[in-house]
Amino acid sequence: MCDEGLSVVRLPWGACPREGEGCSLDFGFWILDFGLKYFIQTNRQSKIQNPKFHIATAAHRLGFRWRARRERKRLRQSENDDARKLAEALAATLDEATDDAETAAWIQRIEALRAALLRSEDEVTFRDYGAEGRLKAARQPDAPFRETTRAVKAIGRDAVPPHEGRLLYHLIRQFNPARCLELGTSLGLSATYQAAALATTGGTGQLITLEGGTALARRAEKHLDRLGLTGVEVVAGPFAETLPAVLQRHRPIDFAFIDGHHDPAAMRAYFEQLAPHFADGAVLVFDDIFWTTGMRHAWLALAEDPRLRQAADLLTVGICIFSTETVV
């Protein structure tokens, strides 16, 4: 709490300056990350050639690792099995030296694919239902979600970064889900991390990944095939049209990665739509919870939902454990 008699002002990192350990550092990481990303977006150079990219990536990774270490320490003090599994997944994510040969080989292949995409001179035309498409639709309500053409390397810049890919990989390795769901395939890099983890846990798990843009979905399928990853179904089309049928066919869901519409209302709406289809102990991962102040506040509210028996905040990524019984 702040000083008596003073109102608590909710800042972008979700707390007043005196509320909780390290919150000012969280805000500092957020400002650095956000500012550098802005400069990158206004710079037309290739991401590989642009030194600001490397600085921004380092800032993003530093903030992520800072929060992951804090959460790992907190979770390890719990006697809850889910908390301990989360802690172990975070430990494996943070310490690359502990990777076994199979994990190291998969990550090397996936990152080689990323490097190839960032060098690509190809362009892809698709109907954008994601964050950028929604912004354009808001500006032009008479013609929402028009087709857009973007460079593959530009789309690759927005993909899940390596440290978040490692997180998805180790969460799946730790919790061993049978049915995984992803909202927002893009070029398929996050899907490759998840599918690779499923392959190392016996190969019986399945990943269903949804992408609004058909051309992007087809490219993601090619990238998965290129790495020899099976057990993945890529579903193309607007989530509003494809998600209900997917949930009916593949319930219960054991693991979900939500990386579609970066919008506070959408975050809550997807959670409510998915909730009846979750298995007990399902793992939910929300990306870009620091995308905007609204997203941050939506995440903080969601993390307090009584249907969640565990939540971990990694600054840019939120992780929850769902319970089919309301936690009092």
Q: What is the DSSP string of 32-73?
A: HHHHHHHHHHT--S-TTT-HHHHHHHHHHHHHHHHHHHHHHH
**Sequence-separated (6 or more) residues with CB below 8 Å from residue 104:** none
End-of-domain residue from the set 106, 131, 155: 155
- Give the orientation angle of helix 51-76 with respect to helix 162-175, to 10 degrees: 30
Residue 54 has pLDDT above 80, yes or no: no
pLDDT in tens, 62-98: 889 999 999 999 999 999 999 999 999 999 999 999 9
pLDDT in tens, 132-159: 544 444 434 344 567 899 999 999 988 9
164 with 189, same domain: the answer is yes
300 with 229, same domain: the answer is yes
191 with 176, same domain: the answer is yes
106 with 132, same domain: the answer is no
100 with 131, same domain: the answer is no
Q: What is the DSSP string of 3-39?
A: STTSPPP--TTSS-TTSSTTHHHHHHHHHHHHHHHHH
58 located within any domain: no
166 with 268, same domain: the answer is yes
24 located within any domain: no
pLDDT in tens, 202-243: 878 999 999 999 999 999 999 999 999 999 999 999 999 999
The predicted model scores a pTM of 0.83
130 with 250, same domain: the answer is no
280 located within any domain: yes
Could you tell me if residue 184 is left (phi over 0), alpha (psi between -120 and 50 degrees) or otherwise beta?
Answer: left
Q: What percent of the chain has pLDDT over 90?
A: 66
Q: What percent of the chain has pLDDT over 70?
A: 77
289 with 143, same domain: the answer is no
205 with 318, same domain: the answer is yes
Strands 253-258 and 147-151: unpaired
105 located within any domain: yes
Q: Which domain holds residue 236?
A: 79-114+159-322
> Do the Cβ atoms of 172 and 196 come closer than 8 Å?
no
> Do the Cβ atoms of 326 and 306 come closer than 8 Å?
yes
End-of-domain residue from the set 128, 155, 182: 155
**Structure tokens that stand for 42 in this block:** 């206004």
126 with 242, same domain: the answer is no
228 with 309, same domain: the answer is yes
Of 67, 295, 39, 263, nearest in space to 157 by CA: 39
pLDDT for position 144: 53
End-of-domain residue from the set 131, 155, 179: 155
- How many angstroms separate the CA atoms of 187 and 114, rounded? 9
309 located within any domain: yes
Q: Which residues pair with 272 in a beta bridge?
A: none
pLDDT for position 217: 97
pLDDT for position 33: 52
Quote the number of domains for the chain: 2
Could you tell me if residue 144 is left (phi over 0), alpha (psi between -120 and 50 degrees) or otherwise beta?
Answer: beta
307 located within any domain: yes
- How many angstroms separate the CA atoms of 324 and 252, rounded? 11
7 located within any domain: no
Domain at 189, CATH number: 3.40.50.150
141 with 252, same domain: the answer is no
pLDDT in tens, 184-213: 999 999 999 999 999 999 878 999 999 999
Q: Which residues pair with 208 in a beta bridge?
A: 181, 233
13 located within any domain: no
Q: Which residues pair with 179 in a beta bridge?
A: 206
